[in-house]
């Protein structure tokens, strides 16, 4: 399997950016049956925004589906314009010579259903009214998000993915794929995630939604032609941002350092650097993200609970034969390692093919997005082994008896 050796993620200089990429869109469910959602509602038509990196092989056996988290989008790698200073959200991990190696794999990432970056969501036009859906958009689940991704792959003629991978909420979607489409998934990489939200996670989501819906500009979700509830959304984001970072990471980055001043303001000013940083993060996010999407997506996370009781668990896991790799980070307190271990426990209890690794990182929940050599190698090892086995199977199948 010498073709792996040239693609090791630690090969230094060889890892490059995928370069210029373009977001594509496709409209599904235009004719025929609509998409049936877990709530019982239906949706039709549905636009999906997606990006691809690398080249599919002849048998389409090298496809990897990347699932994004709450505020992510289809732009997982590369850049959109030559002058872009920002790259896709998982650019450290997707590209030539990177763990999701575009020299070897065909990578696909789509904006989640309910999103606000090209895929149908509350900000999309409802064909029935020719106005944005707003709160008329149906509530969605993680299962619905996976269902639309499956429809996209069907549309593209892809019957099976070598692997599905995601961090945080993206990890929930990856798990959902392994459960709902067992014949279509070779392996699932579930990173910094959880089999269900805890009461504390739900509580933080509830406060975020309260901040948004109490913003007078929220206007019961119907704000697309007036001022947007940016203030409420920015407060929600500021709070969430605290949960993405470790206490230690925040301390090391900011400590009690003052922002552009030598002494306290003794006024209701921004005194500390950490305040300034959070306000900037909140304000930027409040301007660019859709508040209704934030409501819908947090709700879909609240609802996620594939293993609510032993009977359901056994039934849901019966047909699962994907290889599963669960990864967590030791300073993540949003979804701490005990959540990943709980998932591993459930999967092992049901004789699933599961591996687990905890990585050391000072960066808390955000670690799954940040460059790290050991984490990088483990992803590459998992993905390459899946593919090597696939090639091996194919080689033996094709060889004349």
Residues lying near a second copy in the complex (CB under 8 A) are found at: 38-41, 135, 138-139, 196-200, 202-204, 206-207, 209-211, 213-214, 216, 231-232, 234-235, 238-239, 242, 245, 247, 250-251, 253-256, 264-268, 270-272, 274-275, 278-279, 282, 295, 299, 302-303, 305
Cβ neighbourhood burial of 21 (10 Å; 0-12, 13-18, 19+): buried
The one catalytic residue among 168, 234, 300, 337: 168
User: Please, what is the minimum distance in Å from the beta carbon of residue 152 to a second copy?
Assistant: 23
Distance of closest approach, residue 300 Cβ to a second copy, in angstroms: 10
Partners of 325 in the β-ladder:
189, 355
Question: In whole angstroms, what is the distance from residue 240 CA to residue 90 CA?
Answer: 20
The three-state secondary structure class of 234 is helix
First to last CA, the chain: 22
**What is the phi/psi pair of residue 177, to 5°?**
-60, -45
DSSP 106: E
What is the closest distance, in whole angstroms, from the C-beta atom of residue 244 to a second copy in the complex? 11
Structure tokens at 49: 């925004």
Smaller CB separation from a second copy, 57 or 198:
198
75 tagged catalytic: no
Alpha-carbon distance 314 to 310, whole Å? 6
Q: How far is the CB of 115 from a second copy (least distance, A)?
A: 17
CB of 305 to a second copy, least distance (A): 7
Q: Could you tell me which residues come within 8 angstroms of residue 115 by beta carbon, excluding any fewer than 6 positions away?
A: 49, 73, 121, 293, 297
Known catalytic membership, residue 332? yes
Of the pair 137, 387, the CB lying nearest a second copy is at 137
How far is Cα 189 from Cα 212, in angstroms, rounded to an integer? 32
The answer to whether 168 is a known catalytic residue is yes
Name the catalytic one among 332, 336, 366, 372.
332
Q: Quick one: angle between helices 310-317 and 337-349, nearest 10?
A: 70
Catalytic residues: 168, 332, 365
């Amino acid at each position: 399997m010498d073709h792996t050796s040239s693609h090791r993620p630690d090969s230094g200089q060889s890892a490059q950016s995928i370069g210029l990429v373009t977001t594509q869109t496709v409209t599904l469910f235009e004719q025929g049956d609509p998409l049936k959602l877990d709530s019982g509602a239906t949706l039709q038509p549905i636009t999906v925004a997606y990006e691809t990196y690398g080249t599919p092989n002849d048998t389409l056996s090298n496809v990897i589906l990347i699932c994004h988290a709450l505020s992510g989008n289809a732009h997982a790698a590369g850049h959109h314009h030559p002058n872009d200073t920002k790259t896709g959200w998982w650019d450290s991990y997707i590209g030539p010579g990177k763990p999701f190696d575009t020299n070897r794999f065909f990578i696909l990432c789509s904006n989640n259903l309910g999103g606000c970056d090209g895929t149908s969501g509350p900000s999309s036009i409802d064909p029935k009214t020719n106005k944005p859906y707003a709160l008329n958009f149906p509530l969605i689940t993680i299962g619905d998000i996976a269902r639309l991704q499956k429809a996209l792959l069907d549309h593209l003629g892809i019957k099976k993915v070598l692997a599905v991978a995601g961090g945080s909420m993206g990890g929930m979607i990856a798990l959902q794929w392994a459960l709902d489409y067992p014949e279509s998934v070779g392996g699932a990489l579930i990173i910094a995630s959880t089999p269900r939200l805890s009461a504390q996670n739900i509580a933080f989501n509830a406060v975020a939604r309260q901040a948004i819906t109490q913003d007078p500009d929220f206007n019961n979700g119907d704000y697309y032609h007036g001022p947007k509830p940016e203030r409420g959304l920015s407060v929600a984001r500021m709070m969430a941002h605290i949960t993405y970072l470790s206490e230690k990471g925040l301390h090391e980055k900011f400590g009690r350092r003052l922002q552009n001043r030598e002494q306290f303001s003794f006024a209701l000013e921004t005194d500390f650097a950490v305040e300034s940083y959070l306000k900037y993060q909140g304000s930027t996010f409040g301007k660019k993200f859709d508040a209704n999407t934030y409501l819908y997506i947090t709700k879909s996370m609240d609802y996620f609970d594939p293993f609510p009781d032993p009977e359901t668990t056994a039934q849901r896991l019966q047909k699962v034969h994907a290889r599963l790799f669960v990864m967590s980070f030791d300073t993540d307190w949003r979804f701490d390692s005990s959540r990943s271990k709980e998932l591993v426990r459930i999967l092992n209890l049901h004789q699933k093919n599961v591996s687990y690794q905890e990585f050391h990182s000072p960066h808390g929940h955000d670690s799954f997005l940040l460059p790290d050599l050991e984490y990088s190698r483990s992803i590459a090892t998992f993905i390459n082994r899946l593919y090597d086995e696939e090639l091996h199977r194919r080689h033996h199948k094709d060889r004349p008896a």
